[in-house]
Structure 1
Amino acid sequence: MIKKHTIFKRDKWNMVTVEVNGKQLILREITDQWGEECRTFLSRPEMMHWAQERFAPGRFDGTEEEAAQIMEAFRQV
């Protein structure tokens, strides 16, 4: 059974979701700038490392509170 988690969603063109399919974590990032990117992680630590890099304060264009909420959503997966 695949379980889908919405990490964040601003609108239908800016969102991040994670699907848990057995041991695989399939992350889909949709942006109005780059389109859809799909990444497959084989472990939660691998996904969390990617998330910490992707939503680092210098790279993320939202507020610190928004970044903290996103990281908490990743921890809940």
Structure 2
Amino acid sequence: MLNVEINGKTLILREISEEWGEECHTFLSRPAMMHWAEERFSPKRFKGTEEERLQILENFRKV
């Protein structure tokens, strides 16, 4: 599960998984967050369908 919190100029992304627990990423800009998202959900690393991957990236763009 991913949760993005906007705190002033800072974007705080929490990635929660049963395997790893909670990871917190802090970004100072939307482009920095999008760069992370594109790397994290790259076609080589993503295990779902291409449609699911594109939907995730679209949801990040809406933040």
Sort the TM-score into its range (normalised by shorter chain). over 0.9
Which of 1, 14, 20 aligns to 2:6? It is 20
What 5-or-longer segments of structure 1 have no aligned partner?
1-14
Aligned length: 63
Computed over aligned residues only, the root mean square deviation of the Cα atoms, in angstroms, reads 0.7
**Which structure's residues are more often helix, by fraction?**
2
Which of 19, 25, 31 aligns to 1:45? It is 31
What 5-or-longer segments of structure 2 have no aligned partner?
none
Q: Deviations over 1:48-74 (max 9, x none)?
A: 000000000111111111111100000
**Which structure's residues are more often strand, by fraction?**
1
Q: TM-score, normalized by length of structure 2?
A: 0.95
Q: TM-score, normalized by length of structure 1?
A: 0.78
Structure 1 residue ranges, 4+ long, deviating more than 2 angstroms after superposition: none
User: Which residue in 1 is equivalent to 2:44?
Assistant: 58
Sequence identity of aligned pairs in percent? 71
